[in-house]
Structure 1
């Protein structure tokens, strides 16, 4: 059985507009739990779901911004590093989503990328 445990970076599309998210999956047997942090105003959500073979399904419930749960289904790639699928809210809204397995510490990875892009002041300017 596939093991999704760990941190993943993903994107979902609603009416063609992408929203990025970070999800931490905790898997025990075929039971899935975890937390998602969406960019922007949507914020944090909790998930509960299942893993059956390479099939993934879970419900995302936002903690503050939306009372409606979001149903996700997806298929895990053979190398177990990529998931893609569909999401749906009460059969009224739907779209596609995907996620890639991330590094162990995504915050550190993100901060390192920022530091790489920040120019270093030369000592002549600093004096």
Structure 2
């Protein structure tokens, strides 16, 4: 999938999440839940990318398994990943990464502000 399709899939998924807000900035799109960023989209020179929060252990495994996943661009390299278009990502994985990022951020919110239960939201039996 190309980078623009990657961003479209990720953006469409993100705006459907409970409590998610989108902020447009000149070079960035920021997706937040209760004021906390869970996804960023921008264009690195000629390459549309999606930047997502990830569990550190999961992030390391994802980077090993997928050439199109690298450490978070302009973010903490341990807790964030950058996904770009290429041959190793499919729509299902992109949506899972967006929901995982959202769930991690929601899990860091006070329970009274959580729009969903981060332990169960988006998990399929």
Q: Calculate the TM-score normalised by the size of structure 1.
A: 0.28
Of structures 1 and 2, the larger Rg is shown by: 1
- Greater RCO structure (CA 8 Å; 6+ sep): 2
What TM-score results when the alignment is normalised by the length of structure 2?
0.29
Query: Which structure's residues are more often strand, by fraction?
Result: 1
